[in-house]
């Protein structure tokens, strides 16, 4: 019998990694120096590490390949499957993996497919021959599969995160003592030039035991160690109103004034795509005209003759900051910068070029572009998009025997860009979009938030039950998630999108309008959201459905363990036959005062709660305090 606890402690003390050097396991005798950087999170039984690889010789190194930034057995309790024909139980050794972002075209017609995003799935290890391999799609780290895994057996286990915003691969195989977990960069096979130093993926391993509330333990870890300081300080993310970028400044100002006069209070006014360039007229994100101007980061003079300064001033009168969209890592081929400096870009597509972040002058150019806009417009939130699949560009640019090195420099250059901006502007919030949630990993989470965790939010009439499925499943791991609504006079839909970062897009484009009644409803909805927004970063418990099922209820509890208070949000879906749901709330002890945000009525009670929703397609929010 192996000593599981000693073996688990060894992972915390001595993280394991591996790579081949000229086709053989590296024995430490070649030109490569490895440096292991370790950060322990003892409060959470977690450790993070990253490996740096450096050529210390005066010649090109041999070929590094099969780089596994984690190559370790995760010890698990002994388990014997009694009979071959018996079904597996929750105690069996398993890996739980999380669905990443799906095909973008699904958002327009396939709610069932769209609702799979952030869902989680289990694969069992029925003997020592079983191996599972996971990899993301086309160069964005949470495309198709998320880089977060749970390995477990008999109530004990680990949550493992792979921190690499490009292409990664993870392989899990059952061994006698547990599960061997290998992960690293997918396309890494290169030599290093003299003095060259690069790193691989960061690896986070959190242990848990059967008595741990493992997902809230991980949420607490994410909040404490992997959330930007600017967000921790304010305990929440954005509360932003969307304007489409080509909506003229004078109309933006009119709408801001109208909001202010009617008591609608936003924290940010968010200008999305199509504000930049000189020629293209774009009415909304679906016309794709705006994409031709990517790479030209001058403010569009005809729509915004004052360069947004007047819009910023009007927003500040309402106590709101300014938020601006960019897609800084690529350029349309017609962009002026692409013609002026073709050597700065990688050409592997009919329409777009990818910026070559291996070049310092390219990184410096984009930094100065962003820095100048942030200073001039007093930008509170920099929204970075990334609407391309970069794999094909990186592969084309790689030199012979340097496979994967272009990707490494691009990803490290992106981290450098964000870190420099945060260092100069400590209160700056970075919104990480990437076609909606396709670059979510611990490296981006520690630097940014995700307002659009999926581009399903782009459509104007989304199914609110798809968005509440997304919120249910994403909240399992992440305390700072984002969502937005474009529906008007629909409280069920708005509440389905409530999250730690929240946006409104119902008055965004030239063809959007709002009646006085609709603006009054919005004012009350925003006030309601403000009352509860700080709870979304606290502990999360799910009591309802986490799938798209019209006959079910959705029930969330968010609990602030420090203040011993929280809230319950409940949704009775459109075909649910049940008007009542009874639940037992988590983490409560004794009596609390419960208050309905719908009626204002209060009552005193304990953990057992009965929720009544007489109408189908209805919702309620109930807060509780000691």
Rounded mean pLDDT, 92-98: 96
The answer to whether the beta carbons of residues 443 and 394 sit under 8 Å apart is no
Q: Is 509 left (phi over 0), alpha (psi -120 to 50) or beta?
A: beta
User: How far apart, in whole angstroms, are the C-alpha atoms of residue 252 and residue 308?
Assistant: 10
Largest CA distance in the chain: 77
* Per-residue confidence band for 302, with pLDDT thresholds at 50, 70 and 90: very high
User: How far apart, in whole angstroms, are the C-alpha atoms of residue 318 and residue 308?
Assistant: 16
pLDDT digits (tens, 9 = 90+) for 206-232: 999 999 999 999 999 999 999 999 999
pLDDT (0 to 100) of residue 281: 86
pLDDT (0 to 100) of residue 13: 83
pTM (whole model) above 0.85: yes
pLDDT digits (tens, 9 = 90+) for 150-202: 999 999 999 999 999 999 999 999 999 999 999 999 999 999 999 999 999 99
The answer to whether the beta carbons of residues 213 and 206 sit under 8 Å apart is no
CA 311 to chain centre: 29
pLDDT digits (tens, 9 = 90+) for 559-584: 999 999 999 999 999 999 999 999 99
Residue 553 DSSP SS3? strand
Spell out the residues 6+ positions from residue 114 whose beta carbon is closer than 8 angstroms to its own: 102, 106, 107, 454, 456, 466
pLDDT digits (tens, 9 = 90+) for 16-61: 999 999 999 998 888 999 999 999 999 999 999 999 999 999 999 9
Residue 232 DSSP SS3? helix
pLDDT (0 to 100) of residue 1: 46
CB atoms within 10 A of CB 517: 10
User: How far apart, in whole angstroms, are the C-alpha atoms of residue 437 and residue 456?
Assistant: 10
């Amino acid at each position: 019998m192996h000593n599981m606890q000693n073996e688990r402690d060894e992972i915390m003390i001595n993280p394991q990694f591996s790579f081949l050097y000229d086709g053989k396991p590296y024995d430490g005798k070649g030109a490569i120096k490895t440096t292991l950087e370790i950060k322990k999170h003892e409060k959470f039984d977690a450790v993070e590490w990253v490996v740096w690889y450096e050529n210390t010789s005066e010649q090109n190194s041999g070929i590094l390949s099969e780089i596994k930034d984690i190559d370790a057995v995760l010890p698990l309790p002994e388990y014997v499957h009694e009979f071959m024909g018996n079904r597996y139980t929750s105690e069996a050794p398993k890996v739980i993996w999380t669905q990443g972002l799906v095909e973008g075209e699904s958002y327009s017609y396939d709610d069932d497919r769209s609702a799979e995003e952030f869902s989680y799935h289990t694969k069992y290890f029925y003997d020592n021959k079983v191996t599972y391999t996971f990899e993301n799609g086309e160069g964005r780290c949470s495309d198709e599969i998320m880089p977060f895994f749970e390995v477990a057996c008999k109530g004990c286990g680990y949550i493992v995160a792979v921190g690499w915003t490009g292409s990664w691969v993870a392989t899990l195989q059952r061994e006698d003592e547990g599960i061997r977990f290998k992960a690293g960069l997918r396309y890494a096979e290169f030599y290093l030039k003299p003095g060259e130093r690069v790193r691989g993926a960061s690896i986070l391993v959190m242990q848990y035991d059967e008595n741990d509330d493992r997902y809230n333990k991980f949420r607490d870890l994410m909040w404490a160690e992997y959330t930007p300081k600017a967000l921790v300080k304010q305990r929440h993310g954005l509360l932003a109103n969307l304007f489409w970028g080509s909506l003229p400044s004078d109309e933006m100002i009119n709408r801001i004034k109208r909001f202010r006069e009617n008591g609608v209070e936003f924290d940010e006014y968010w200008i999305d795509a199509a504000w930049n360039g000189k020629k293209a007229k774009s009415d909304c994100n679906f016309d794709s005209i705006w994409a031709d101007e990517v790479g030209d980061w001058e403010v569009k003079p005809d729509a915004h003759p004052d360069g947004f300064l007047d819009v910023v001033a009007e927003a500040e009168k309402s106590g709101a900051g300014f938020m601006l969209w960019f897609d800084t890592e690529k350029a349309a081929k017609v962009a002026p910068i692409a013609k002026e400096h073709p050597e700065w870009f990688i050409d592997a597509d009919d329409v777009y070029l990818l910026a070559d972040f291996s070049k310092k002058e390219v990184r410096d150019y984009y930094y100065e572009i962003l820095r100048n806009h942030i200073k001039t417009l007093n930008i509170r939130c920099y929204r970075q998009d990334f609407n391309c699949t970069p794999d094909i560009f990186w592969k084309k640019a790689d030199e012979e025997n340097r496979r994967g090195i272009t990707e490494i420099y691009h990803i490290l250059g992106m981290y450098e860009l964000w870190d420099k901006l945060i260092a100069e502007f400590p209160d700056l919030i970075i919104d990480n979009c990437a076609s909606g949630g396709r670059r979510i990993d611990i490296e981006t989470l520690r630097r940014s938030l995700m307002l659009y965790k999926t581009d399903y939010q782009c459509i104007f009439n989304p199914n609110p039950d798809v968005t509440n499925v997304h919120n249910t499943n994403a909240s399992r791991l992440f305390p700072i998630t984002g969502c937005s609504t474009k529906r008007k006079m629909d409280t069920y839909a708005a509440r389905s999108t409530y999250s730690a970062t929240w946006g409104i897009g119902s008055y965004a484009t030239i063809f959007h309008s709002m009646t006085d009644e609709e603006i009054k409803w919005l004012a009350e909805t925003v006030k309601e959201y403000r009352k509860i927004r700080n709870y979304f970063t606290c502990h999360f418990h799910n009591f309802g459905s986490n799938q798209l099922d019209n006959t079910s209820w959705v029930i969330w509890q968010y609990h602030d363990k420090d203040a011993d208070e929280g809230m319950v949000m409940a949704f009775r879906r459109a075909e649910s036959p049940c008007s009542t749901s009874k639940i037992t709330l988590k983490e409560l002890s004794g009596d609390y005062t419960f208050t309905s945000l719908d009626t204002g009525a209060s009552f005193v009670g304990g953990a057992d709660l009965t929720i009544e929703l007489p109408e189908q397609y209805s919702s309620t929010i109930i807060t509780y305090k000691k």
